[in-house]
Chain A
Amino acid sequence: MWARCIVVLCLWLPCAVAPAFADGYYDLAPQRIAPDTYVFLGALEAFDFDNHGAVANSGFIVTEQGVVVIDTGPSRLYGEAMRAAIARVTERPVVRVYITHAHADHFLGNNAFAGVPIAALPATAQTIRSAGEAMARHLYDRVGAAMRGTSVVVPDEIIDRRADPLVDYGDHRLELIATAGHSPADLMILDRRTGVLFAGDVVFHDRAPATPHGDFAGWQRALTTAADSGFRIVVPGHGPVAENDTPLEQTGAYLRWLAERLRAGAARGDSAAELMFEPLPPRWAALAVQPAEYRRSVTYLYPALEGATLK
């Protein structure tokens, strides 16, 4: 704990005298995964002082009408690093930002995109409005100085779920796919020209799914929707890009296993912190951020199941 405080102080002191130091926080190198399509891969870790909160994937598509950005990362500095990296790829302006869902590692870079319309599903905008400040504070506590200058920018363009889900940016026709399950609103974006599916946190890959706001049934439906979308390349919210169904199947199988583990624990009478320390099967222990993510899942999801066994 004290070590951490000292680290914060050490980070802050040079910042105060040398603003350029801030550029060192995020070393964002866009990876081209399809024509006109790039991703920034996040660390397969929980938030900490070393990764500066850059744990989720973000990306962008360079179209004739300008650049479309998908998610803005955990901080203003991350968003600015994205813009700088985009500017090294194309001179075209950013014309729209899409936010996949209202978790801190996906939208807190919004204030680096002043003047650009930021679009999100209604529940995503609502959650950012009501809980965004608390999420930002939480992230400040976890990652420290890399968060400086970050403020909550609520998406200003609400995606109407009844409207035409197809939006053309030049010859890139994007399909906006509204789902829920990882969180109360999960937007996926399929580029019909390239077949790239930006799946947000509906899909995890080689990294344990984060489930604090998860709804298992809805999440499985969202995975089916993703599988049926006809994608050729999937960009998970966390983990490496894939050209097959593997990340979808992995996420679905993990969630089925997790739901059954929790159900069986409640039926046996396990206590929450007891179930948390049950060993994981090798397949799921091998995912990144385990067993921490499994333990978080128990913390958030088990009380309701456990409570339902009492009368």
Chain B
Amino acid sequence: MRAGTGLLWLCLFGYALGAQAAGTASIPADPLDSSRWRYIVAEHFRDARLMFDERVQVRAPDAVEDGRATPVFVRISGLDDVRRIRVLADAVAPGAVLDYFPDSGAAARDLSLGFGLRLAQATPLRAAVLTGDGVWHIGGRWIDAQGGGCAAPSMTLPESAGAGKGLAPGIEARAWPRPAGYQRLKFRIQAPASARESWPAITQITISDSAGRLRARLVPGKTLDPTAVFTLDIASREPLHIDVRDARGQRYERGVGSAARALP
């Protein structure tokens, strides 16, 4: 029995090695020198065209300070026809940290995305930006495990306890006008403090304008901090509508007034 299982694993391992080797030739060297890079490529970018691109900037602290909330900001400038932004943390693979589908109809050359991560270990953090020509443009940086200094220890929340208390969260939001007809939308999904530990996962967030046009769609992964502030730049100053769905099928919504009217 044991020998049989071992043989099976050996076969699988051999198959995996072969599969890896087949794809290795075209994998560009990782500027972050991550030991997991080829597995990341195998999982997310198999047979895709990849390039490391300075136009994709990932900003985050050098080290995790508070394991519950590490702020991250992704800025994409000068890339045309962005279809999708996939945020990856090598050490918390498999799966993406976050998928962001911007408004593909807009000529969005400049996009920003801010969010919080629950992170307890050192990891490369990457943003992969898929453009209409099928190329993934990748930028990233390392986040170290713990910050140093005259500081408190990192504290990481335990995994969600599962059973919910059925408390409906609210959405706090605001929009700021930005240059070139953009607006910056920030929002935070707020649960009562007592419910935070047992909150169902957020499965999808959509942002649409007053005409019903989809402006952004976010699909959070497990390590995303669902209580952190999300920041998005939207190529419109129309009033927006935020629609959040969770794993229990609940839906929370709210409108955000026109950023143009918020001008002083």
Contact = CB atoms under 8 A, between A and B. Distances in A.
Contacts of B51: none
B155 interface: yes
Please name the 6 residue pairs, one residue from A and one from B, whose CB atoms are nearest each other, closest first.
A271-B114, A272-B71, A138-B153, A273-B73, A46-B148, A269-B176
Contacts of B69: 303
A47 B152 contact: no
Contacts of B176: 268-269
Contact of B149 (A271, A276, A277, A293): A293
6 contacts: A104-B151, A138-B153, A272-B116, A310-B186, A311-B173, A311-B174
B186 A296 contact: no
Interface centre among B73, B146, B149, B188 (most CB of A within 10 A): B149
Contacts of A277: 59, 73
A134 interface: yes
A272 B150 CA distance: 21
A300 B66 contact: yes
B121 to A, nearest CB: 9
Interface string A192-204: 0000000001000
A273 B59 contact: yes
B112 interface: yes
Nearest to A271: B114
Looking at chain A's contact residues, the main secondary structure is: helix
B65 interface: yes
A285 interface: no
B152 A310 contact: no
B198 to A, nearest CB: 22
A148 to B, nearest CB: 18
B59 A311 contact: no
Interface centre among B71, B75, B122, B188 (most CB of A within 10 A): B71
Interface in A248-298: 268-269, 271-274, 276-277, 289, 292-293, 295-296, 298
A212 B114 CA distance: 22
Given A268-B176, A310-B229, A141 B146 contact: yes
A191 interface: no
B66 A299 contact: yes
Nearest to A292: B62
B145 A299 contact: no
Given A271-B186, A296-B151, 10 more contacts: A104-B150, A137-B153, A138-B153, A138-B154, A212-B151, A213-B152, A273-B71, A274-B59, A303-B229, A307-B188
A311 B154 contact: no
Contacts of A299: 61, 65-66, 70-71, 147
A210 interface: yes
Contacts of A271: 71, 73, 112, 114, 186, 229, 231
Interface of B: 59-62, 65-66, 69-73, 75, 112, 114, 116, 122, 145-155, 172-174, 176, 184, 186-188, 228-229, 231
A189 interface: no
A205 interface: no
Contact of A307 (B65, B147, B150, B229): B229
Contacts of A56: 150
Interface string A32-74: 0000000000000011100000011000000000000000000
A74 to B, nearest CB: 10
B150 A310 contact: no
A141 B145 contact: yes
A276 B59 contact: yes
A271 to B, nearest CB: 3
B186 A274 contact: no
Nearest to A209: B150
Contacts of B149: 46-47, 55, 210, 212, 289, 292-293, 296
A142 B174 contact: no
Contacts of B228: 303
Interface string A66-107: 000000000000000000000000000000000000011100
Contacts of B145: 1, 141
Contact of A134 (B60, B61, B153, B231): B153
Interface centre among B61, B70, B176 (most CB of A within 10 A): B61
A8 to B, nearest CB: 13
B6 to A, nearest CB: 29
B187 A138 contact: no
A180 to B, nearest CB: 15
Interface in A208-226: 210, 212-213
B65 A309 contact: no
Contacts of A293: 149
B112 A131 contact: no
A28 interface: no
A274 B150 contact: no
Contacts of B154: 138
Contact of B152 (A105, A212, A268): A212
